[in-house]
Amino acid sequence: MSSFSTSSAISNSKLPVREIPGDYGFPFFGAIKDRYDYFYNLGIDEFFLTKIQKYNSTVFRTNMPPGPFIAKNPKVIVLLDAKTFPVLFDNSKVEKMNVLDGTYVPSTAFYGGYRPCAYLDPSESNHATLKGFFLSLISKLHNQFIPLFRSSISGLFANLENEISQNGKANFNNNSDVMSFDFVFRLLCDETNPHDTNLGSNGSKLFDIWLLPQLAPLVTLGLKFVPNFLEDLVLHTFPLPFFLVRSNYQKLYDAFSKHAGSILNEAEKNGIKRDEACHNLVFLAGFNAYGGMKVLFPTLIKWVANGGKSLHTRLANEIRTIIKEECGTITLSTINKMSLTKSVVYEVLRIEPPVPFQYGKAEEDIIIQSHDSAFLIKKGEMIFGYQPFATKDPKIFDKPEEFIPERFMAEGEKLLKYVYWSNARETDDPTVDNKQCPGKNLVVLLCRLMLVEFFMRYDTFTVETTKLFLGSSVTFKKVEKAT
């Protein structure tokens, strides 16, 4: 942007323009200090809260992990309010090339030598081709979503009941992971049962192993018996090489290559190389779909459990009443009538979004406005948004730290434009021209459907939860079957 247009943008701002506060510390050592504060000394939320208080601003400069030696440049401008955050969705102002994981990019060896669609900017021609194909694929498969998910989830509940009867408790995550992989594989592979393939019962574990080295620079395992410096050295200093998971990934690739033939044939008709299409399909299935469900489903159950018996009774009454009125059928139309169920899902996505980070690089000089100030971001600077703060902005949401099940009912639906979990506003839809999750509407549907299936079977339940490096671990202690 020229100096004239920058000056013009500043003069058009209705708020005072502040220098973006914060600094990056000494070269190299400043990034290391911020990394230790982020993971170990303060923790993620306290890391950001401390800087908000220090600078009296929801916009500031800092370093983001992993830093040296994985990321060449850890310097970012942080956005922590609902008003500035949406600039990260504006593809005319920010570039999304290779920013999925933030300030570093895993080796393309993890993806067969290709850059998957999620790493492409909309300005790259291949982005429209790949995303357009995935959007058409999701549209084509939409009639299978509900019956396939219901079939997969029935096994989940049977396993939970068996474990509770035998052990007095049941781990939800392990069972949910198996169910999620089963659903995704059946959906993309002509309803083939993964147990009948070379994957057997190991599909979810193979995806877990493949995901870990890609995400390791962004997490802490929280193992008390491992010294912080040792974990930091292993996870955050040097990238974990692909060869550690090569054989696991090959099994996944071979399974999808063999059993997703109809999808890959269609991809070739759309001008996508079969090999590239298959690697993208594995990424879509593993990173986007399975990876998202791995975090989101336990989070959903955790927050609904915390709502207690009163919420459970209200959900059960709504779900059972509407299904009875629909003569026992469960369709998209039926689910759309369940206003409390829909609101609960949106509230979970607001209070604990499954993907907490968003990144983008400024394509030009940008003026952004928070609630009380304007700031100038220079072309080429990396912008980072921490979504759990943006979607708990006290100037937008009443009692933002509280889980309020009915928050998005009736007039509350107007607040959906401030729910950002899908890399866009909840009121937006994914297109080939944006970076919104192509399965955004499917994710919302599956969360609602999980609640529908659950409360058709059970009246109430209790769980214990612990924090994981990705999401929460949920253990069922008790379930009361529907009376």
In a domain, 2, yes or no: no
In a domain, 7, yes or no: no
386, 80 contact by CB (below 8 A): yes
In a domain, 6, yes or no: no
**Mean pLDDT per 10-residue segment, the chain (483 residues):** 39 77 97 98 97 98 97 97 98 97 97 98 97 97 96 94 95 97 97 96 97 96 91 96 98 98 96 98 97 97 98 98 94 96 98 96 97 96 98 98 98 97 97 96 97 98 93 95 90
In a domain, 227, yes or no: yes
CA distances from 460 to 15, 218, 473 (A): 50, 36, 19
- pLDDT tens column, 80-107: 999 999 999 999 999 999 999 999 999 9
- pLDDT tens column, 336-364: 999 999 999 999 999 999 999 999 999 99
According to the annotation, is 117 in a ligand binding site? Answer: no
In a domain, 439, yes or no: yes
| 3-class SS letters over 36-70 | HHHHHHCCHHHHHHHHHHHHCCCEEEEECCCCCCC
Q: How many domains does the chain have?
A: 1
pTM (2 d.p.): 0.95
- Nearest partner of 131 among 442, 430, 445, judged by Cα: 430
Q: What is the CATH number of the domain that holds 447?
A: 1.10.630.10
In a domain, 33, yes or no: yes
106, 213 contact by CB (below 8 A): yes
State both tokens at 478: 């008790």
How far apart are alpha carbons 13 and 354 in whole angstroms?
A: 33
Half-sphere exposure of 146 (CA within 13 A, CB side): 14
Quote the domain boundaries for residue 228: 17-481
How far apart are alpha carbons 64 and 384 in whole angstroms?
A: 9
In a domain, 8, yes or no: no
For residue 237, give the DSSP letter. I
| Residue 69 CA, distance from chain mean position | 26
In a domain, 1, yes or no: no
344: left (phi over 0), alpha (psi -120 to 50) or beta: alpha
| Residue 221 CA, distance from chain mean position | 19
State both tokens at 189: 């592979």
Kindly report each contact of residues 247-253 with a partner whose C-beta sits within 8 Å and lies 24 or more positions away, as own/partner.
248/206, 248/209, 248/210, 249/110, 249/206, 249/210, 249/282, 251/198, 251/199, 251/206, 252/199, 252/203, 252/206, 252/207, 252/210, 252/282, 252/286, 253/112, 253/278, 253/279, 253/282
- Nearest partner of 167 among 477, 482, 483, judged by Cα: 477
